[in-house]
Amino acid sequence: MTIEKMEIQRLGDLKTALGECPVWHGQQLWLMDCRLGLILALNPGTGAVTARHEVPPPLGSFAFNGDDGDCIVLSLKEEIAALNLRNGQLRTLARIEASHPHLRLNDGTSLADGSFVVGTMHVFREPGEAPLGGLYRLDARLHLHKLDDGLGITNGPCVNPVSRRLHVADSAARVIYSYEIAADGTLADKQVFVRTDDHDSGPDGCCFDDEGGLWTALVRTGALARFDMQGRLTHRIDLPVAHPSALCFGGPEMADLFVTTISDSGRLSASGPLDGAVLKLTGSGFRGAARPVCRMPV
């Protein structure tokens, strides 16, 4: 289904190599350029860069920590760390057990209990080689728990606001899984939510609208897809870029969609006029919700 009144525009003039992890926070759009080690805030109206922080690349994802807005939790190559946005101090919170030149932490999100869930990507594997790493949860006491394994490229972890199930994409396998989350943060009842082979792309970043619809970036086909709670495609939006990477809802009424894109990820590249730009989509007819914040003692 198409959305007749939707408008797609470029937000500002920023061009990222590997734009990822858009987060609406404090009435601004935050995002990463993972290859360059940059965390940026943009004015959602003009696209002007209002904050810029540097950390050692590669970056995977981040979430705000606490209510003050001056600290974030972020995934580095094999570490989860906290960055003080006021003084630039970087503190390691946890380290995963696996290490490999082609393994790194990738996409993650904050959960309502204050924890941070993040998964790995293990690329350039031999045929039949099992991926290292997996899906992890750092709880609010700074205890690291391994939740699942066997994920080749983890992307888009997010919680359905209606069913409360955690959804996690494996871009390499072209599948999105869903899990039941227990009160102690453990996962159960793993199910295949949707496979995206028919769309000629793995799913990348994901987010939910308030109706329980899952939106994902089809990174190899330049489009967004929305699936209902039964995993049925309801909308597909073609974008003027080759490789959209992630998306989030934001804006004063949480009705705008912001999309990050890729110009050169190291594995994907494109040189069109909007590749690497941040896109702002208005008029979708859907609304989202702001992410919770982490509650780490940092």
The residues carrying an active-site annotation are: 204
What is the β-pairing status of strands 116-122 and 103-110?
A: antiparallel
Q: What is the CA radius of gyration of the chain?
A: 17
- Dist. CA 215–CA 188, nearest whole Å: 23
- The DSSP secondary structure of 62-77, one letter per residue, reads EEEBSSSSSEEEEE-S
DSSP letter at 274? Answer: T
For β-strands 19-25 and 7-10, DSSP reports them as unpaired
Cis peptide before 58 (omega within 30 of 0): yes
Query: How far, CA to CA in Å, does 227 sit from each of 51, 69, 160, 164, 206?
Result: 34, 32, 12, 16, 11
The Cα 38–Cα 271 span in angstroms is 21
Q: Residue 147: left (phi > 0), alpha (psi -120 to 50), or beta?
A: alpha
Q: Tell me the HSE value of 239 on the side-chain side, using a 13 A CA sphere.
A: 35
